[in-house]
């Protein structure tokens, strides 16, 4: 069963930002898809099984942005 969760991320403003966040989050074991949207300030993560929010937060932080919460 796959899991899809959307998070609010602050600081993204362009395509480069989206790529940076996507690359970091994609490296988390179990993540099968990532869609970052700078305009909406979100990152949507699809995974084979639920991924710990702290792992997502750490990856977003590593990319240089801040995860501020879940939207869905």
> pLDDT tens digits, residue range 24-47?
999 999 999 999 999 999 999 999
Name the DSSP class of 14: S
CATH topology of domain 3-70: Alpha-Beta Plaits (3.30.70)
Mean pLDDT of 6-24: 97
pLDDT for residue 32: 97
pLDDT for residue 72: 59
Give the position of tokens 């991924």.
Answer: 51
CB atoms inside a 10 Å sphere around CB 27: 12
CB atoms inside a 10 Å sphere around CB 18: 20
pTM for the whole thing? Answer: 0.93
Sequence spans of domains, the chain: 3-70
């Amino acid at each position: 069963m796959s899991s899809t969760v959307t998070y609010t991320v602050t600081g993204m403003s362009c395509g480069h930002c989206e790529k940076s966040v996507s690359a970091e989050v994609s490296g988390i074991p179990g993540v099968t898809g990532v869609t970052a949207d700078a305009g909406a300030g979100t990152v949507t993560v699809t995974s084979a099984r639920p991924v710990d929010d702290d792992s997502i937060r750490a990856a977003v932080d590593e990319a240089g942005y801040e995860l501020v919460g879940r939207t869905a």
